[in-house]
């Protein structure tokens, strides 16, 4: 084992020069990407600045339109056509002028425009950023001084790590242990808060509360009429379709005798009289699909021939 011990080499510490070089490289890449985005935002606004294009179109069609800027109460006036824009306006006049309006955009607007998936994805990124900032701040305030005074004789970045703490110094070993417990509790608290918010919004989505508010604002039928099955003159097919998917079920392994819309509807209507809206069977019939595609090709050729010879 002496040969094996002689072949071992101590770990190489990251030098401050290498850290500064990595920081400079990432800073240059960030500046280049932001500059490229600003150039493309002006050259191709329909892709990289779609909101600005829509605002120009809206102002062209509706001269009385007022854009409600975030934090500006005077700008939040109703237009003559009853049209307002609840999201901050992003102009393409100066470099990075869009950063502040995007930061000031309320979470309710993001949820309404982007949907729940993108909304919770952004909240997850925000939670990770919050955990990183909090842990970094308290690590520099508490852990770095404790490690730096450990007396282990380390240098470089290891001077601010547990490697610089002597094995017999129990006090400095307990400090990171308590810090880890406190930080774990903080992580659990943040995750629990986000999960509670997710469950609340998910229940609202599945329960249709947002659609009920939208129905009332557009003078559709009331939620009591929807639940009781009472139709009214001002109800719309779109409203019924939006609500129907909340009460739809996917059934698999259907028996052969019930593999038709009428048979499946009759079966469940006997189990739940008067409570079944409809039944639809999606069957796997590749031969019929091929014949249908062939019929479509023949119809296209026939129409082309008729139009040509006429």
Q: What is the pLDDT of residues 297-306, one digit of tens each?
A: 999 999 888 8
The rounded radius of gyration (Å) of the Cα atoms in the chain is 32
Distance CA(116)–CA(71), nearest Å, equals 25
Q: How far is CA 213 from the centre of its chain?
A: 23
For 100-105, the CB contacts below 8 A with 24+ separation are 101/69, 101/70, 104/70, 104/71, 105/70
Question: In Å, what is the CA distance from 248 to each residue of 81, 206, 209, 269?
Answer: 38, 12, 17, 14
Question: How many residues comprise the chain?
Answer: 310
Count Cβ atoms below 10 Å from residue 310 Cβ, excluding itself: 5
Residue 159 DSSP symbol: G
Q: Give the integer Cα–Cα distance in Å for 75 and 89.
A: 11
Check residue 97 and give its pLDDT. 81
Q: Are 221 and 236 in contact (CB under 8 A)?
A: no
Mind giving me the DSSP string for 191-244?
A: HHHHHHHHHHHHHHHHHTHHHHHHHHHTT---HHHHHHT---TT--HHHHHHHH
pLDDT at position 3 = 55
Tell me: the pLDDT tens digits for 232-276? Answer: 444 455 555 556 666 788 888 888 888 889 999 999 999 999 888
Q: Which tokens is 199 given?
A: 């469950």
Identify which of 215, 169, 25 has the alpha carbon closest to the alpha carbon of residue 224: 215
Does the predicted TM-score (pTM) go above 0.75?
A: no
For residue 195, the model assigns a pLDDT of 93
Burial 72-98 (b: 16+ CB within 10 A, else e): eeeeeeebeeeeebebbbbeeeeeeeb
Residue 187 contacts residue 132 (beta carbons within 8 Å): no
Alpha-carbon distances of 208 from 171, 214, 215, 227, 243, rounded to whole Å: 56, 10, 10, 11, 7
Q: pLDDT tens digits for the chain (310 residues)?
A: 455 555 656 556 667 778 888 999 999 999 999 999 888 888 887 777 776 666 666 656 555 544 444 444 444 443 333 334 445 555 556 778 888 888 888 888 888 888 888 899 999 999 999 999 999 999 999 988 888 888 877 777 778 888 888 877 888 888 889 999 999 999 999 999 999 999 988 888 776 666 555 555 544 444 444 344 444 444 455 555 556 666 788 888 888 888 889 999 999 999 999 888 889 888 778 888 889 999 999 999 998 888 777 6
Tracing tokens 């019939």 back to the chain, one arrives at: 285
pLDDT at 213 (0 to 100): 57
* Closest to 264 in 3D by CA, of 278, 249, 253, 248: 278
Instruction: Classify the C-alpha dihedral 282-286-291-294 as positive or negative.
Output: positive
* pLDDT number for residue 26: 94
Contacts of 27 (CB under 8 A, 6+ apart): none
Nearest to 119, CA basis, from 197, 231, 20: 197
- C-alpha closest to that of 157 among 20, 43, 34: 20
Tokens at 90, concatenated: 């992003």
């Amino acid at each position: 084992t002496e040969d094996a011990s002689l072949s071992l080499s101590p770990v190489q510490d990251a030098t401050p020069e290498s850290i500064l070089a990595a920081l400079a490289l990432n800073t240059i890449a960030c500046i280049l990407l932001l500059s490229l985005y600003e150039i493309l935002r002006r050259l191709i606004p329909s892709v990289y600045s779609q909101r600005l294009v829509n605002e120009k179109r809206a102002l062209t069609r509706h001269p009385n339109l007022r854009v409600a800027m975030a934090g500006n109460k005077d700008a939040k006036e109703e237009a003559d056509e009853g049209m307002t824009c609840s999201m901050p306006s992003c102009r393409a006049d100066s470099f990075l002028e869009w950063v502040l309006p995007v930061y000031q955009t309320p979470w309710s607007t993001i949820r309404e425009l982007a949907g729940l998936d993108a909304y919770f994805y952004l909240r997850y990124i925000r939670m990770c950023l919050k955990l990183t900032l909090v842990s970094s701040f308290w690590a520099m305030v508490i852990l770095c001084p404790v490690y730096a005074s450990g007396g282990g004789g380390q240098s470089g970045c290891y001077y601010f790590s547990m490697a610089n703490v002597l094995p017999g110094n129990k006090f400095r070993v307990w400090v990171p242990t308590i810090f880890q417990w406190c930080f774990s509790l903080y992580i659990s608290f943040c995750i629990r808060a986000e999960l509670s918010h997710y469950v609340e919004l998910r229940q609202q989505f599945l329960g249709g509360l947002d659609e009920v508010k939208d129905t009332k604002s557009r003078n559709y039928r009331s939620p009591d009429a929807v639940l009781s099955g009472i139709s009214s003159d001002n109800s719309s097919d779109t409203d019924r379709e939006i609500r129907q998917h909340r009460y739809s079920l996917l059934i698999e392994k259907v028996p052969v005798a019930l593999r038709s819309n009428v048979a499946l509807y009759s079966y469940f209507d006997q189990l739940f009289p008067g409570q079944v809206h409809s039944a639809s069977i999606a069957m796997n019939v590749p031969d019929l699909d091929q014949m249908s595609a062939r019929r479509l090709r023949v119809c296209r050729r026939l129409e082309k021939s008729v139009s040509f010879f006429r």
